[in-house]
């Protein structure tokens, strides 16, 4: 699976003719189907590939047309993934769904419990560890297009 995503990212993304053929073959639909059903550990790679494909204006119609299981749209899928990430990190929300801590809206429970501790420059802070292990703030580039 990883090799296939790598091949799509390296051989299709950024090559206009290849992207057009990929879109004609409903490749975005397949990536979205994969995203909907893949393990959480694969989400960042699939989302990164989709994000780069979205630089091609022709991909927008494919994204807005796609429907997953139970007639799920791309928007609903992305919201579900976001909520799963927040739950995994322990981000606090009120009963009405709004963010509980507006001063630190995306802080997770682990990061919050660690507090602010001065560290040497070569030691990653809990914030960096949190970001490296989740997708919320990623702008991954698998290839060097």
Task: Supply the pTM of this predicted model.
Answer: 0.72
> Both tokens of residue 111?
């990061």
**Residue 145 domain-assigned?**
no
> Taking all residues of the chain, what is their mean pLDDT, rounded to a whole number?
84
Whole-number percent of the chain with pLDDT over 90: 46
Do residues 68 and 129 both lie within one domain? no
Of residues 121 and 17, the one with the higher pLDDT is: 17
Do residues 63 and 77 both lie within one domain? yes
**Cα 27 from Cα 24, distance rounded (Å):** 7
Do residues 11 and 23 both lie within one domain? yes
Do residues 36 and 101 both lie within one domain? no
Given a contact cutoff of 8 angstroms between Cβ atoms, the answer to whether 13 and 56 are in contact is no
Question: Helix axis angle, 2-11 relative to 40-53, nearest 10°?
Answer: 10
49: nearest Cα among 22, 72, 24, 69: 22
Given a contact cutoff of 8 angstroms between Cβ atoms, the answer to whether 90 and 107 are in contact is no
Mean pLDDT of 15-42: 94
Do residues 59 and 102 both lie within one domain? no
Do residues 2 and 70 both lie within one domain? yes
Do residues 61 and 1 both lie within one domain? yes
Do residues 76 and 96 both lie within one domain? no
- Checking if the pLDDT of 137 tops 50, the result is no
Q: Could you tell me the residue range of the domain that residue 122 belongs to? A: 90-136
Whole-number percent of the chain with pLDDT over 70: 86
Q: Report the residue count for the chain.
A: 145
**Cα 76 from Cα 60, distance rounded (Å):** 16
**Residue 67 domain-assigned?**
yes
Question: Cα dist. 145→12, 49, 89 in Å?
Answer: 10, 12, 32
Given a contact cutoff of 8 angstroms between Cβ atoms, the answer to whether 137 and 5 are in contact is no
- Count the domains in the chain: 2
């Amino acid at each position: 699976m990883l090799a296939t995503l790598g091949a799509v990212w390296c051989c299709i993304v950024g090559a206009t003719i290849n992207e057009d053929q990929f879109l004609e073959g409903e490749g975005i639909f397949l990536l979205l189907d994969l995203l909907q059903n893949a393990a959480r550990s694969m989400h960042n790679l699939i989302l990164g590939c989709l994000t780069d494909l979205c630089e091609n204006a022709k991909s927008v119609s494919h994204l807005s047309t796609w429907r997953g299981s139970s007639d799920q749209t791309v928007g609903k899928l992305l919201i579900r993934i976001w909520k799963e990430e927040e739950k995994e990190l322990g981000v606090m929300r009120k009963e009405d769904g709004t963010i509980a801590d507006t001063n630190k809206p995306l802080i997770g429970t682990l990061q919050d419990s660690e507090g602010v501790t001065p560290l040497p420059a070569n030691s990653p802070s809990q914030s960096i560890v949190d970001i490296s292990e989740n997708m919320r703030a990623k702008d991954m580039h698998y290839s060097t297009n």
